[in-house]
Amino acid sequence: MATFENDGELFAAFNATAIQETIRTSEIMKHKKMIIDCDLLVLDLNLTEKILKLAIELRDGRPIMVDAVSVTNVNRVEAFIDKIDILKLNRLEAEQLTGLTLDTKERVKQACRQIVGYGVKRVFVTMGMAGACAADKNDELIVPAVPIPVDDLAGAGDAFAAGIAMNITKSLRSQAQSGVMYSAEHLKSRA
């Protein structure tokens, strides 16, 4: 949560991602039917490995999207990466996962191909004002960012993830474009 002054300057922020450490398997099992039946289960890597494993087992091959959310936790995905339909990363998370330096769009494409090689069906890597890279087993592409003035990027990655999740049945290009557009709209609404 962040609190901003009237002029848009950050006043205070607090982050309680450790709260996810308190989620117990019994809580997940209370919602088992919903987890099994939903069209797409979206997980983030702040969840414990135990909870991630349980949720993935409950899905039993049904679509799963994972948002890495942090460089610190991105390696948690390695244990079940081949069970993920959609993996959303930013450039730094993709660097951590692949061990590559992603200083050009071509290197980001290379990282996306590598991640698809791990078994992920679709991968999306956000690159800030350079747009986003998307890949599946047949293609990799770059979708340019929408040029807008940006004061604060908070929430842009979440909006991107929402865009790709909401468009799961679309083509790779359409899904990536939706992620970029959702992110741009989020940033515009904050300006």
Buried b (16+ CB within 10 A) or exposed e, 160-188: bbbbbbebbeeebeebbbbbbbbbbebbe
pLDDT of 155: 83
pLDDT band with cut points at 50, 70 and 90 for residue 3: low
Note the pLDDT of residue 84.
96
Of 67-81, 96-110, 176-190, where does mean pLDDT reach its minimum?
Answer: 176-190
Are 78 and 84 in contact by the 8 Å Cβ rule? The answer is no
> Rounded mean pLDDT of the chain?
89
Average pLDDT over residues 170-181: 94
* Tokens found for residue 80: 């079940």
Structure tokens at 72: 């610190």
Report the alpha-carbon distance of residue 164 to residue 171 in Å, rounded: 10
DSSP string, 119-159: T-SEEEEE-GGG-EEEE-SS-EEEEPPP----S--TTHHHH
How does strand 122-126 pair with strand 132-135?
antiparallel
Please return the burial class of 87, using the count of CB atoms within 10 Å of its CB with bins 0-12, 13-18 and 19+: buried
Helices 156-166 + 172-190 axis angle, to 10 = 140
The CA–CA distances, whole Å, from 160 to 100, 129, 182 equal: 23, 13, 6
Each residue of 30-63: pLDDT tens digit?
A: 999 999 999 999 999 999 999 999 999 999 999 9
Tell me, what's the pLDDT at 22? Answer: 78
Pair of tokens at residue 139: 């293609």
Q: How confident is the model at residue 14 (pLDDT cuts 50, 70, 90)?
A: low
Q: How confident is the model at residue 163, as a pLDDT?
A: 95
**Averaged over 162-174, what is the pLDDT?**
93
pLDDT score recorded for residue 111: 98
Predicted confidence band at 10 (pLDDT cuts at 50, 70, 90)? very low
- Give the span between the Cα atoms of 132 and 145, in whole angstroms: 7
pLDDT tens figures, 96-154: 999 999 999 999 999 999 999 999 999 999 999 899 999 999 999 999 999 888 777 77
Return the percentage of the chain with pLDDT > 70, whole number.
90
- What are 161's two structure tokens? 């993830």
pLDDT score of 186: 87
Cβ neighbours around 109 below 10 Å, total: 18
SS3 186: helix
- Distance separating alpha carbons of residues 70 and 96, to the nearest angstrom: 10
Domains and CATH numbers, the chain: 2-190 (3.40.1190.20)
